[in-house]
Amino acid sequence: MKKFIVSSLLLVSFSLSTSPILKAATVYTQGAVWN
Q: What distance in Å separates the CA atoms of residue 21 and residue 3, rounded to the nearest whole number? A: 26
Higher pLDDT, 35 or 11: 11
Q: How high is the mean pLDDT of the chain?
A: 79
pLDDT band at 26 (very low <50, low <70, confident <90, very high): confident
Burial letters 4-18, b for 16+ CB under 10 A, else e: eeeeebeeebeebee
Reply yes or no on whether the pLDDT at 14 is more than 80.
no
**pLDDT score of 17:** 64
